[in-house]
Amino acid sequence: MEETGLENMTENTKKEKVLSKEEIVAALNERHSPEKQKLLSAGRVAIAGLGGLGSNVAYALARIGVGHLHLIDFDVVDITNLNRQQYFMEHIGMYKTDALKSLLLKINPYLDIDTDCVKVTEENLTKLFCDEPIVCEAFDNPEAKAMLVNGILEHFPEKKLVSATGMAGYGSSNTIRTQKLMKNFYLCGDRETAPTYGNGLMAPRVAICAAHEANMITRLILGEEDV
Neighbour count for residue 44 (Cβ, 10 Å): 16
CB 177 within 8 A of CB 190: yes
**Which phi and psi angles does 8 have, rounded to 5°?**
-60, -45
CB 213 within 8 A of CB 162: yes
Neighbour count for residue 176 (Cβ, 10 Å): 21
CB 43 within 8 A of CB 68: yes
Sign of the torsion formed by the C-alpha atoms of 72, 67, 131 and 138: negative
Q: Rounded distance, CA 165 to CA 223, Å? A: 24
Helix, strand or coil for residue 196?
strand
Q: Rounded distance, CA 68 to CA 53, Å? A: 18
Q: Residue 17's pLDDT is what?
A: 85
Number of continuous H segments (helices) and E segments (strands) in the chain: 8, 7
Across 210-224, average pLDDT: 98
Amino acid in position 168: A
Q: Residue 7's pLDDT is what?
A: 52
Q: Residue 15's pLDDT is what?
A: 67
What would the pLDDT profile of 82-124 be if each residue is shown by its tens digit?
999 999 999 999 999 999 999 999 999 999 999 999 999 999 9
Q: What is the 3-state secondary structure (H, E, C) of 44-84?
A: EEEEECCCHHHHHHHHHHHHCCCCEEEEECCCECCHHHCCC
What would the pLDDT profile of 13-68 be if each residue is shown by its tens digit?
556 788 999 999 999 999 999 999 999 999 999 999 999 999 999 999 999 999 99
pTM for this structure?
Answer: 0.93
